[in-house]
Amino acid sequence: MGVAVLFIIVYIIGVPLFILISLFKNRKHLHDETSVLHEDVHYTLGALYEQYEQKFWWFELVVIIHKMIMT
């Protein structure tokens, strides 16, 4: 039971936190096509930010958290 609770907490907090850290660290390269790292970041994280405007790079976290709460 304790292990199950631990992994539930890790999943609920860990996944959004990992996404936030990944997007935050690479926010300068997300929409800057002249950046050297843009292709790598786009390949890795493109599905998380591509549909949003540049200033809303973080909004996918709101969607993920909303889905977790609804579930």
* Domain ranges for the chain: 10-70
2 HSE (CA, 13 A, CB side): 0
What confidence score (pLDDT) does residue 59 get? 94
Q: Which long-range contacts (CB under 8 A, 24 or more apart) does 52-55 make?
A: 54/30
**Residue 45 clears pLDDT 90, i.e. is over it:** yes
Q: What global pTM score does this model have? A: 0.80
